[in-house]
Chains A and B, each alone.
Chain A
Amino acid sequence: MVKSEDIGTAIKRLLPDAQVSVQDLNGGGDHLQVDVISSSFAGLSLIRQHQLVYEALKKELATEAIHALALNTSTPKENT
């Protein structure tokens, strides 16, 4: 189980400008929907964008503190 704010903190450590929103899909803290908006994604393929977020959450994913993660990434421009 992971607290939402910890996820935001972990992502911002790698992507300082990121706007992060976390939804707990089943109340258990390990099935999450995470939306990340960052200018660092500009010009990157979806795979690279998601890999960056996975990199930031490597520990939580490896220990399966996060069991299921639905991810949505975009740049600030795409998002307006």
Chain B
Amino acid sequence: MDSNTKARIQTIINSSQIMVFMKGNKLMPQCGFSNNVVQILNSLGMNYETFDVLSDMEIRQGIKDYSNWPTIPQVYVKGEFIGGSDILIEMYNSGELREKLEIALAS
């Protein structure tokens, strides 16, 4: 991944406290896994932004290298990668996600 793509990714990540790299957008998720994340964040009433990786192949591939995570969606909270669909579901079900987000957003 070239430095320009990396810089673009960092800018996108830092543009919102919660940033979701997904297929599609909040209103029209284009993939079941991306939809899982949108539904979870909506149900927690969180403010978050999204980036549609289907609109930018450089970011779509770059984000996988950036976090060493080969799948989409990817969720970042205050710049930290916290997981994809599976992990968000598991953290949501255990209550850990709400706690982690509230702590991160409060600080």
Residue of A nearest to B83 (CB): A47
* Interface size range on A against B: 10 to 19
Contact B33 A46 (CB under 8 A): no
A45 → B minimal CB distance (Å): 9
Chain A stretch 48-80: residues in CB contact (< 8 A) with chain B: 50-51, 54, 58, 61-62, 68-72
Contact A50 B32 (CB under 8 A): no
Which chain A residues lie closer than 8 Å to B70 at the CB level? 54, 58, 61-62
Which chain B residues lie closer than 8 Å to A70 at the CB level? 33, 85-86
What is the number of contacts between chain A and chain B, taking CB atoms within 8 Å? 33
How many chain B residues touch A (CB < 8 A): the figure is: 16
Contact B68 A50 (CB under 8 A): no
A4 → B minimal CB distance (Å): 19
Contact A68 B69 (CB under 8 A): no
Residue of B nearest to A70 (CB): B86
A68 to B86, CA, bound (A): 11
Q: Given A47-B81, A54-B70, A61-B71, A68 and B32 touching (CB < 8 A)?
A: yes
Q: Interface of B with A (CB < 8 Å)?
A: 31-33, 68-71, 81-87, 90-91
